[in-house]
């Protein structure tokens, strides 16, 4: 009887192995056919390009315990980096993944005579603790004769985050890639700085911004974001506007930039440029202060907004639509997601907003505050948050009806009254998180706090293998979450099954729910992408028949 059972088991194993090899052969044949059919060669666009690429050494800097806080208490000011009497710390920027992972960047110079370099600190628990514990991670770009200021970073979905800085009296552009925003030293996903050598001579730069793009809408396979700059060239382009992204022909990376080097004159001048991509729809927006226009009757000095639909190629670059022109406005900031776009700006001493709830087709405008400067806008759940300075304090206004009405908070973000600086790049906001330049200690420091908005924060708490994938999703925010779309997808290794999606109807504050992949079979390496609302996490693993291992 035992021998019969063994014989049946052997037959089952042999049948499974035979089935696996037959199925593998079919799959490989199918992949080969599809790859050939879909192998469309995209011709590189001849334009202003960057032809040099290197990665400066990433370092940690140490400072005394009084100049930073490793732990913070949400709802109170947390010191991210403070000067020691001689150092200069300013121009903060912030991004997050829609959950607990946050990155803050800033300018740092050890003293007035030393060059400025960009540095970063990050939190993986919603701003309670900050890493590195006794330092900041950055690049000594100055060692390569680069002087760069005003770092800008933005979340890029499954591509992590993307950033750039403003060059100063030089001909090189620098961009940053943060494939894993939770760990700068992640294996195969470490943070990287890239330098791109311009092929036209620039004389000076004026503004910079960066927006992340996910793999679905990226204009090239290697692009994780689009950078935008304004500046002058030596061939009479004054206050020109440029934007671009990384591309590759498989052998060398370049940075394709528009317009091309043949441009010798613009119809207008530009400054204060910002951009953002709706990662859910692929709508791309650029806003900037447009002035000295040759058609001044049609376009008097003010904020100009244009948009274009991304499609995962570079075919859209000449298909812009003019969306909004706001005479008399300045210092724009923009955020887009889920088909909504919010453009905030200074006007008549206060803060205004143009908003769209139909993916940029139509816009309405509303007044947010009668007094304020240097606005920054973000979204968390159904709430829109705008921060701005007023009387050396950081104020915020919120809307929970998609921009139609706004309420200004009576409590300032900075706990010490009139300690905030008031100038360009002095405050930034991402989701419910605020960072700003503060002078309470008699010198510039960078601080962090939450906006105090009741909103859900959805985080991926754990990812486990075994028979498929099981993921724990938790609401760590201060409000219940409703109708949360989620998906689990496998890239490579599967013969069948695995991918799954659904909607969590409600997730109360503090609650956890599990989502699972479908039954699968496969062999070899795979990349697993988990999307929950706006939170995205990617893991490498191995498939062993019906099992997921190596997480």
Q: For residues 502 and 373, state if they share a domain.
A: no
Do 282 and 310 touch, CB atoms closer than 8 A? yes
Kindly state whether residue 7 falls inside one of the protein's structural domains: no
Provide the Cα torsion 164, 169, 171, 172; round to 10°.
-30
User: Does residue 277 sit within a domain?
Assistant: yes
CA distance 286 to 209: 10
pLDDT of residue 254: 64
Residues 411 and 462 in one domain: no
Predicted confidence at residue 260, as pLDDT, reads 52
User: Strand 547-549 and strand 148-155: pairing?
Assistant: unpaired
The residue whose two tokens read 């304020």 is 372
The CATH number linked to 269 is 2.120.10.10
Pair 417, 504 in one domain: no
Confidence (pLDDT) at 114: 84
In a domain? residue 37? no
Residue 257 lies in a domain: yes
Last residue of a domain, one of 432, 450, 468: 450
Distance of CA 217 to the CA centre of its chain: 14
Range of the domain at 548: 456-551
Clarify whether residues 250 and 315 are in a common domain: yes
Q: What is the DSSP letter of 65?
A: G
Residue 166 lies in a domain: yes
Mark whether 163 and 285 lie in a shared domain: yes
User: How many domains does the chain contain in total?
Assistant: 2
136 vs 286: CA distance, rounded Å: 31
CA distance 32 to 119: 45
Check whether residue 68 and residue 189 sit in a common domain: yes
- Across 431-519, where does the E strand assignment appear? 433-438, 445-450, 458-464, 470-475, 481-491, 494-497, 500-507, 512-516
pLDDT of 201 reads: 61
From edge to edge, which strands make up the β-sheet containing 192-197?
148-155, 161-167, 172-178, 192-197
- Predicted confidence at residue 236, as pLDDT, reads 67
Cα gap 530→461, rounded to integer Å: 12
Helix (H) or strand (E) holding 242: strand 240-248
The one-character DSSP state at 184 is T
Quote the pLDDT of residue 190. 85
Q: Quote the pLDDT of residue 148.
A: 85
Q: Are 437 and 90 in contact (CB under 8 A)?
A: yes
- Residue 311, both tokens: 């499609």
* CATH value at residue 480: 2.60.40.10
Question: What region, left, alpha or beta, does residue 39 occupy, with left being phi > 0 and alpha being psi -120 to 50 degrees?
Answer: beta
Domain termination residue (choose one: 391, 415, 450): 450
Residues in the chain: 551
* Cα Rg, the chain, nearest whole Å: 25
258 plus 360 within the same structural domain = yes
> Is 156 found in the same domain as 52?
yes
* Rounded Cα–Cα distance for residues 191 and 458 (Å): 25
Determine the Cα–Cα distance for residues 408 and 386; give it in Å rounded to an integer. 9
Check whether residue 471 and residue 387 sit in a common domain. no
Q: CA-to-CA distance for 544 and 20, rounded, in angstroms?
A: 11
pLDDT of residue 55: 47
Distance (Å, whole) CA 375 – CA 343: 10
Written as tens digits, the pLDDT of the chain (551 aa) is: 434 444 443 444 344 444 333 333 323 222 222 222 222 222 222 333 433 344 444 545 444 334 444 444 456 899 998 866 677 899 999 999 888 899 999 998 877 788 888 999 999 988 889 998 878 888 888 877 778 889 999 999 999 999 999 887 666 778 899 999 998 888 778 888 887 766 556 677 889 999 999 999 999 988 999 999 888 776 667 788 888 888 876 555 666 666 654 555 567 788 999 999 999 999 999 999 988 877 667 778 999 999 999 999 888 888 889 899 999 999 999 999 999 999 999 999 999 999 999 999 999 999 999 999 999 999 987 789 999 999 999 999 999 999 999 999 888 999 999 999 999 999 999 998 999 999 998 888 999 998 866 677 788 889 999 999 999 999 877 788 889 999 999 999 999 999 999 999 999 988 999 999 999 999 999 999 998 987 788 889 999 999 999 98
547 in any annotated domain: yes
For residue 298, being part of any structural domain is answered with: yes
Q: What is the pTM of this model?
A: 0.78
In a shared domain, residues 500 and 408: no
Cβ proximity of 124 and 133 under 8 Å: no
Q: If you write DSSP's letter for every residue of 96-160 in order, what string do you get? A: E-SSS-EEEEEEEESSTTSPPEEEEEEESSTTSB-BSTTEEEEE-GGGGT--EEEEEEEE-GGG-
Q: How crowded is residue 330: how many other Cβ atoms within 10 Å of its Cβ? A: 17
Query: In whole angstroms, what is the distance from residue 338 CA to residue 533 CA?
Result: 10
Does residue 479 sit in the same domain as residue 349? no
Choose one of 397, 431, 450: the last residue of a domain. Answer: 450
* Structure confidence at residue 196 (pLDDT): 77
Q: Are residues 101 and 63 in the same domain?
A: yes
3-state secondary structure 296-345: CCCCCCEEEEEEEECCCCCCCCCCCEEEEEEECCEEEEEEEECCEEEEEE
Q: Is the residue at 237 inside a domain?
A: yes
Cα→Cα distances 378→207, 326, 447, Å: 20, 21, 18
Q: Are 139 and 118 in contact (CB under 8 A)?
A: yes
Cα–Cα distance measured from residue 469 to residue 398, given in angstroms and rounded to the nearest whole number: 38
């Amino acid at each position: 009887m035992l021998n019969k059972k063994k014989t049946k088991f052997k037959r089952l194993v042999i049948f499974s192995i035979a089935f696996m090899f037959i199925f593998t052969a079919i799959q490989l044949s199918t992949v080969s056919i599809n790859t050939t059919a879909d192998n469309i060669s995209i011709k590189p666009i001849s334009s202003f390009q960057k032809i040099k690429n290197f990665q400066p050494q990433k370092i940690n800097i140490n400072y005394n315990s009084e100049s930073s806080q490793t732990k913070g208490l949400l709802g109170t000011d947390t010191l991210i980096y403070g000067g020691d009497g001689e150092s200069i710390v300013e121009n903060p920027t912030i991004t997050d993944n829609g959950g607990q992972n946050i990155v803050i960047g800033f300018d740092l110079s050890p003293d007035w005579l030393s060059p400025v370099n960009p540095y970063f600190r990050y939190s993986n628990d919603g701003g309670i603790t900050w890493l590195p514990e006794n330092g900041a991670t950055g690049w000594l770009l100055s060692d390569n004769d680069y002087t760069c200021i005003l770092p800008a970073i933005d979340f890029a979905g499954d591509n992590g985050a993307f950033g750039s800085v403003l060059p100063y009296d030089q001909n090189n552009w620098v961009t940053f890639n943060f494939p894993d925003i939770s760990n700068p030293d992640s294996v195969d996903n470490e943070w990287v700085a890239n330098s791109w050598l311009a092929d036209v001579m620039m004389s000076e730069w004026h503004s910079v911004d960066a927006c992340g793009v996910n793999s679905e809408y990226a204009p090239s396979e290697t692009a994780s974001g689009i950078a935008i700059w304004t500046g002058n060239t030596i061939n009479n382009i004054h206050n020109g506007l440029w934007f671009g992204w990384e591309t590759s022909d498989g052998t060398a990376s370049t940075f394709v930039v528009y317009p091309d080097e043949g441009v010798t004159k613009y119809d207008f001048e530009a400054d204060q440029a910002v951009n953002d991509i709706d990662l859910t729809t692929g709508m791309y927006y650029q806003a900037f202060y447009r002035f000295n226009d040759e058609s001044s009757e049609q376009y008097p000095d003010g904020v100009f907004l244009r948009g274009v639909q991304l499609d995962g190629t570079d075919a859209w670059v000449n298909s812009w639509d003019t969306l909004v022109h706001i005479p008399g406005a300045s210092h724009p900031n923009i955020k887009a997601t889920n088909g909504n776009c919010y453009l905030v700006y200074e006007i008549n001493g206060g803060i205004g907003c143009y908003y769209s709830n139909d993916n940029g087709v139509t816009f309405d405008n509303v007044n947010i505050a009668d007094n304020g400067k240097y606005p920054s806008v973000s979204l968390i759940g159904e709430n829109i948050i705008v921060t701005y300075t007023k009387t050396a304090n950081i104020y915020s206004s919120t809307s929970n009806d998609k921009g139609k009405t706004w309420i200004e908070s009576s409590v300032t973000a900075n706990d010490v009254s009139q300690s905030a600086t008031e100038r360009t790049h002095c405050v930034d906001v991402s989701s419910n998180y605020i960072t700003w330049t503060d002078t309470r200690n008699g010198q510039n420091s960078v601080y962090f706090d939450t906006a105090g908005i009741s909103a859900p924060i959805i985080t991926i708490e754990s990812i486990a293998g075994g028979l498929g994938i099981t993921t724990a999703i938790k609401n760590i925010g201060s409000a219940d979450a409703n109708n949360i779309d989620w998906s689990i997808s496998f890239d490579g290794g599967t013969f069948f099954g695995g991918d799954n999606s659904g909607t969590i109807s409600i997730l109360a504050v503090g609650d956890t729910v599990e989502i699972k992949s479908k039954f699968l079979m496969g062999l070899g390496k795979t990349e697993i992408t988990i999307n929950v609302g706006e939170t995205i996490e990617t893991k490498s693993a191995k498939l062993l028949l019906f099992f997921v291992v190596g997480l």
